[in-house]
């Protein structure tokens, strides 16, 4: 197969940041994607319906003329979150999910949850109204190895939350382990998982073997090869419980290439070409549309996009920009480390 046409895809986990960074990275997503679930971990975070409305206005103001894009807003769950505000934001159509960050788990997560009993009322209200909870699935205990934090989160946090609030709809975001895939696979309803582009391509050797490569460092961190293979199997399986959430996370190079570098891979620019490569390798190009365009929309109760995009396979490797210039500094575009022969046709 040298050409494939898909419904225009959705990115069900995206970081756009704000200000000059937002203006620079938004077109990289809007060029190919119709909608995206927008992460709320700004400084200060997007906590209330008013915050979400203001952020959505800034996103739409930054959208270049001639581009169509629908930002799907989320709220940042804190121990002071008001269940009534969450319900009103959902009822208005503004907010599509609430994001749970364990405090200290990733970028700008300092306002996240430490005592899960303090958010019980919010979770119960969300279960009542059908509003999904998106979870960053890692514990932050200093005695837990960073490569084990997802598996421990499932046992200590996620499973108890779901048992205590059985009607709660949950997205386990950026799954990185076979443990996560197995947990989702054993659940018949109300649980789904997003998988990133970069976790389908890299394992922890890419970050550490032969020197530290900061542009492959992300959280959750890439794991062993057996986990990457489990992610590939799930993503290309056609199982509706798995869908694309790139977790594309822009950081200026001077903060990535740093003594304490930021976590995140910026994949918005070349995600669709990379996914066509991955699904082609797995003999699953016929399942790419489900993963990128159908499964996520169905979980969130959204209509499938009517617009289409076409990807073509070329004899010569596709060329992508190495950097994106922003008013906040240059951003490095994710490099898969191999030639890619797919590209989106303009």
pLDDT tens-digit readout, 205-219? 999 999 999 999 999
pLDDT at 109 (0 to 100): 65
- The domains located in the chain, with CATH, are 3-344 (3.20.20.140)
Sign of CA dihedral 317, 330, 346, 4: positive
- Check pLDDT > 80 for residue 235: yes
Annotated catalytic residue, options 148, 179, 247, 286: 247
What pairs with residue 194 in β-bridges? 243
pLDDT at 114 (0 to 100): 86
- Check pLDDT > 90 for residue 274: yes
Catalytic (active site) residue 247: yes
Q: How far apart are CA 234 and CA 213, in angstroms?
A: 27
Contact 27, 64 (CB under 8 A): yes
pLDDT at 103 (0 to 100): 79
Q: What secondary structure, in 3-state letters, does 119-150 show?
A: HHHHHHHHHHHCCCEEEECCCCCCCCCHHHHH
pLDDT at 108 (0 to 100): 59
DSSP secondary structure, 148-187, as one string: GHHHHHIIIIIHHHHHHSTT--EEEES--SHHHHHHHHT-
pLDDT one-digit tens code per residue, 115-169: 888 999 999 999 999 999 999 999 988 999 999 999 999 999 999 999 999 999 9
């Amino acid at each position: 197969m040298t050409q494939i046409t898909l419904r225009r895809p959705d990115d069900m986990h995206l970081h756009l940041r704000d200000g000059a960074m937002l203006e620079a990275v938004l077109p990289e997503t809007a060029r190919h994607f119709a909608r995206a679930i927008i992460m709320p971990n700004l400084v200060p975070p997007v906590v209330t319906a008013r915050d979400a409305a203001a952020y959505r206005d800034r996103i739409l103001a930054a959208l270049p003329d001639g581009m169509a894009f629908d930002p799907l807003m989320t709220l940042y769950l804190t121990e002071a979150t008001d269940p009534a505000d969450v319900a009103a934001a959902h009822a208005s159509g503004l907010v599509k999910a609430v994001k749970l960050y364990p405090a200290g788990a990733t970028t700008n997560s300092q306002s996240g949850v430490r005592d899960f009993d303090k958010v019980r009322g919010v979770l119960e209200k969300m279960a009542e109204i059908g509003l999904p909870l998106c979870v960053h699935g890692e514990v932050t205990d200093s005695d837990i190895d960073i490569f084990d934090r997802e598996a421990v989160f499932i046992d200590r946090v996620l499973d108890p939350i779901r048992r205590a609030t059985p009607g709660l709809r949950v997205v386990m975001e950026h799954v990185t382990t076979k443990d996560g895939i197995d947990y989702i696979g054993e659940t018949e309803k109300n649980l789904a998982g997003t998988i990133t582009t970069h976790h389908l391509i890299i394992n922890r050797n890419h970050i550490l073997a032969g020197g530290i490569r900061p542009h492959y460092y992300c959280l959750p961190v890439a794991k062993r090869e057996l986990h990457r293979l489990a992610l590939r199997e799930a993503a290309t399986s056609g199982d509706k419980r798995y869908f694309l959430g790139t977790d594309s996370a822009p950081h200026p190079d001077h903060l990535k290439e740093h003594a304490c570098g930021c976590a995140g891979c910026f994949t918005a620019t070349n995600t669709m070409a990379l996914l066509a490569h991955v699904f082609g390798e797995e003999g699953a190009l016929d399942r790419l549309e489900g993963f990128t365009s159908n499964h996520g929309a169905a979980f969130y109760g959204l209509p499938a996009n009517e617009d289409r995009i076409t990807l073509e396979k070329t004899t010569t490797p596709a060329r992508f920009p190495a950097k994106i210039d922003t008013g906040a500094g240059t951003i490095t575009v994710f490099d898969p480390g191999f030639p890619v022969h797919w590209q989106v046709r303009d």
